[in-house]
Structure 1
Amino acid sequence: MAVPDLTVKRLGEATIDSPLSGVKFIPENSSVIYGKDADEVIREYNENGRLSAFEQAGPREKIYHDPAWTHAAILTAGGLCPGLNDVIKGLTRTLMVRYNVPIVFGIRYGYQGLIPSFGYEPMLLTPDSVDGIHEIGGTVLGSSRGRQDEVTMVETLKRMNIKILFCIGGDGTLRCAHDIAMEVERRGLNISVVCIPKTIDNDINFIDKTFGFETAVYATNSVISSAHNEAKGTPHGVGLIHVMGRDSGFIAAYATLANTHVNYCLVPEDAFSLYEGEHALLPSLERRLRERKHAVIIVSEGAGQHLFEEESSRRDKSGNVLHHNIGEFLHEKIVAWGKEINLDLSVKYFDPSYLIRSLPAHGTDAVFCEMLAQHAVHAAMAGRTDVVIGHWNDRFTHVPIPVATSSRKKIDINSSLWDSVKSVTWKCYR
């Protein structure tokens, strides 16, 4: 696959001495190689005489924005995700404590908060006001979906004298942030637009992980154990778990490896059938139930959409397709199959989706949120714009927003990850 242009936009030359002390500044030419396979790296260099690389994130010795005259704003958009409040706190503290930025606004209810007609007054954020928000789930700023007019939003930023806008969200949020950055550029304004990638599905491209994902996987553990207990508590018991994963099955795959009570892992990337063929679910399930007496199934929300008679025509306010409910569909099909083959089934259905996404961040996920926030502030103060903070090869990176939104990251079914999932699930289902 050809690597797109990874050059990050800058508002101008950084000429102001950073107020940070006691830190290791990142040189302006520091980069993180894109390639992870040695043979591919060598081949690219031999063919092009250079290597594709991300700009490395981190504090710079010279910054663009004068902290004393800088007003910043933070918004959260899209669905909830563990860690949103951690990022808000990290941004606020880094701006005000480390860089001495005097004013940080919290924009209410996503991009709607930048449209005056909605009537949402911004919040004034301070280190004291955000002190305990990391302990609660959701977002203290509120969120919304849907595109808003970038001309009106930039007018609002200009009126509020905002020099830095931080947008925390997924694919739709990033696209809207890009529209704002383009309008800012068209007007010749010096406003940095920096994004922190938020998606519980871990499906943003050119970024190896996003915050909230680890907490989501951790939170599935008790649900899987409960489904397993329910399934084993009766002959021919089935525990069926429906988790998020609109286009990518990373939550289901990692949850399966984290709690190996799961016998079937169904994801959008690996098509399956119900009755016939090598990947037929129900005949395999029958074999397992007759032999082992119980089974646990985890399914991503985007899996098995080809099994429905019609494609879904519904979309959310962000333009994402609202899939048919594969969990409820499988529940009905499994119950009906049991009657057809004269097997008395007990199917228990679990859907922890909203419980999982509204939790506070857990453990090292919270650490990751704080580090993302710090690197976002460093990037913004150095004058980077139209950029999202990424993570690649164990380094934090700057990724141009158009690159990050160019496609969705998906499970490679020929990868070691999927091999590991298959190795811990039911032997007949291959």
Structure 2
Amino acid sequence: MDEKHSFKIESLGEPRFKSPLQLSTVKGDRIFNFIGESERLVFNPSLEHYNHCFTTRDSPLCMEKAGPRQDIFFEPEKVTAAIVTCGGLCPGINNVIRGLVMALHYFYGVKKIIGIPYGYEGLNPAAGHGFMELTPDKVKDVHQFGGTFLGSSRGAQEVSLMVDTLEENHVDMLFAIGGDGTLKGVNAIGEEIAKRKAKISVIGIPKTIDNDIDLIDESFGYGTAFDVASSILKDAHNEATGAYNGISIIKLMGRDSGFIAASATLAMPVVNFVLVPEMDFELEGENGFLAALEQRLQQKKHAVIVVAEGAGQHLFKDRKGIKDASGNVKHEDIGVFLKEKIAAHFKNTPISIKYIDPSYIIRCAPANSSDSVYCSRLAYHAVHAAMAGKTRLVSCKVNNTYVYIPISEVTKQRKKIDLEGEFWFSVLQSTGQPFFM
């Protein structure tokens, strides 16, 4: 058994009701089967791990397969479900909201679904936001738009107060759509619920365009983000090639992980340098970035540079360490910093620099087709988990299969690019930037 993780899913109790879904329990009848409680998937599918378990007779670490259960915990007609969206905006949030409402209403016949406005702040009565009734008619078109239909906010609220609000409004299940901070928050809500021995299911749907949620294949919105960014890179390339020694600098989101910058670079292979938080590059010196850029301009007379917002923070000597409402350290502006350093380095050489920061446009874009499919399926699996009385889990995809994983496991650390991995090697091959930089 892998000692680092425990994938046991918590439950509110024994299921007492039969699912209203007209599914099958028989293989071969061409009707989708209910998922059995014992169905598991191996987390590490490598042959090396298989041989290790075979030799040591250890049980492999397994995940619970996502999907509808034949026996459910809640009586659907009496359920009150709540949905909240927290943190920064991200493509696909509205798709998930729509998917949750449609699944609750049409799959299970849930009659009362409430939207909590403006994130966890909406669970604090003192904020005065009230609740929003959600129906299929209200959400049927929201997927066509970016942002969040419910509104969002950053910052923590008192956990006991939020649980008080849930209990006072007879909420049976809470779906929280958000990133690392949101998931930690809903897990804390789940802990408080357990202390009170209350029967409220809390489910997380992992959202962050940075794709920095650990263990899972990817978080929704990430695919759309680098899709939208890739066309911007094409235009930036046109700007760079349109001038002698033209340089385009494009800053993309990526506080601690550079997945958007790296994937956009692969999707639109006109980028010559990509700088991400995972790499401690130097500006000066023989192996520094400026020397590599100088060589590039001598050879090709233009350069396209993509930089993630969290890259190069080690280059700022007087970092303030100020934190935002979510508790994240506010980064210095690496894009402006690079523009100034490049201009100073080439002060005796004619260059033309264009600096582009499309971050807040990208995160407000509606989900593309691929993300739309992903969001709907995450929402459906989240509803199935809640109806079965499962709690404190995320609906997610691992090894290209939908599973349930405890929230506590995916929030232990942020996922980052492995600089020795094949993905980053592909990025270096695409850009042609020096491996040693």
How far apart are the structure 2 equivalents of 1:320 and 1:33?
34
For residues 207-218 of structure 1, what are the structure 2 equivalents within 5 Å? 207-218=216-227
How far, CA to CA, are the matches of 2:259 and 2:369 in structure 1? Answer: 19
Look up the SS of the partner of 2:137 in the other structure.
Answer: coil
Match of 2:384 among 373, 378, 383: 378
Measure the CA separation in 1 of the matches of 2:40 and 2:234: 43
Counterpart residue identity of residue 344, structure 2? A
| Structure-2 change in CA distance of 1:25 and 1:323 (3 Å) | same
Summarize the alignment of residues 234-249 of structure 1 with structure 2, pairs less than 5 Å apart: 234-249=243-258
Q: CA deviation at 1:347?
A: 0.6
Contact preservation (8 Å) 1:281, 1:429: no
Output the TM-score relative to the length of structure 2: 0.96
- Which residue of 266, 271, 294 maps to 1:257? 266
The whole-number CA distance in structure 1 between the counterparts of 2:178 and 2:190 is: 15
Asked if the contact 1:54/1:397 (under 8 Å) is kept, the reply is yes
- Residue of structure 2 equivalent to 1:86: 95
Instruction: Measure the CA separation in 2 of the matches of 1:48 and 1:297.
Output: 50
- 2:336 corresponds, among 295, 316, 328, to 328
- Residue correspondence of structure 1 range 28-177 to structure 2 within 5 A: 28-47=37-56, 49-177=58-186
Partners of 2:43 and 2:4 lie apart in 1 by: 8
Task: Identify the residue that residue 287 of structure 1 maps to in structure 2.
Answer: 295
- Give the unaligned 5+ runs of structure 1: none
The residue type paired with residue 304 of structure 1 is G
Equivalent in the alignment of 1:6: 7
Post-superposition offset of 1:409: 0.4
Question: 1:313 and 2:321 equivalent?
Answer: yes
Distance (Å, rounded) in 2 between the aligned partners of 1:418 and 1:126: 44
Please name the residue that 2:428 is paired with: 422
Deviations 1:320-347 (A, max 9, x none): 11111111110111111110xx211111
CA distance in 1, matches of 2:267, 2:355: 20
Is the CA contact 1:73–1:106 (under 8 Å) kept in the aligned structure 2? Answer: yes
| Secondary structure of 1:177's aligned partner | helix
1:195 maps onto 2:204 in alignment: yes
- Alpha-carbon RMSD: 1.2
Higher alpha-carbon deviation: 309-318 or 294-303? 309-318
Of 372, 380, 395 in structure 2, the residue corresponding to residue 389 of structure 1 is 395
User: Hey, what's the Cα distance between the residues in 2 that align with 1:288 and 1:308?
Assistant: 25
Q: Does 1:364 align with 2:366?
A: no
Amino acid corresponding to residue 92 of structure 1 in structure 2: V
Give the match's secondary structure for 1:286.
helix
- Residue 297 of structure 1 corresponds to 305
2:233 to 224, 233, 237: 224
TM-score (norm 1): 0.97
- 8 Å contact 1:192–1:383 — kept in the other structure? yes
Question: Counterpart of 1:129 in 2: which secondary structure?
Answer: helix
SS of match in other structure, 1:218: helix
Q: Report SS of the residue matched to 2:247.
A: strand
Distance 2:232 2:241 in 1: 14
Alpha-carbon distance in structure 1 between the residues aligned to 2:75 and 2:314: 54
For residues 46-67 of structure 1, the C-alpha deviation after alignment (integer angstroms, 9 at most, x for no partner) is 3352000111111111111110
SS in 1 for 2:228: helix
- Structure 1: distance between partners of 2:117 and 2:286: 51
Distance 2:169 2:69 in 1: 27
Q: Which runs of 5+ in 2 are unaligned?
A: 24-31
Structure 2 match to 1:15: 16
Aligned length: 427
Contact 2:146 / 2:364 at 8 angstroms: preserved in 1? yes
Deviations 1:160-216 (A, max 9, x none): 110000000000001110110011000010000001000000010111111000000
- State the SS of the aligned residue for 1:113: helix
Partner Cα distance (1:426, 1:330) in 2: 20
Q: Distance in 2 between matches of 1:2 and 1:410?
A: 21
- Secondary structure at the residue paired with 1:128? helix
Rounded to whole Å, the distance in 1 between the matches of 2:4 and 2:400 is: 19
> Contact 1:284 / 1:429 at 8 angstroms: preserved in 2?
no
Contact 2:428 2:434 (C-alpha < 8 Å) held by counterparts: no
**Following TM superposition, by how much is the alpha carbon of 1:45 offset from its aligned partner in structure 2, in angstroms?**
4.7
SS in 1 for 2:110: coil
Deviation at 1:40, TM superposition (A): 2.5
C-alpha spacing 1:45/1:167, structure 2 compared with 1 (3 Å)? farther
Letter in 2 for 1:285: L
Residue 429 to residue 296, structure 1, CA distance change in 2 (3 Å): farther
Query: Aligned partners of 2:149 and 2:54: how far apart in 1?
Result: 47
Distance 1:429 1:403 in 2: 33
Q: Give the secondary structure class of the aligned counterpart of 2:139.
A: coil
Q: Distance in 2 between matches of 1:208 and 1:3?
A: 18
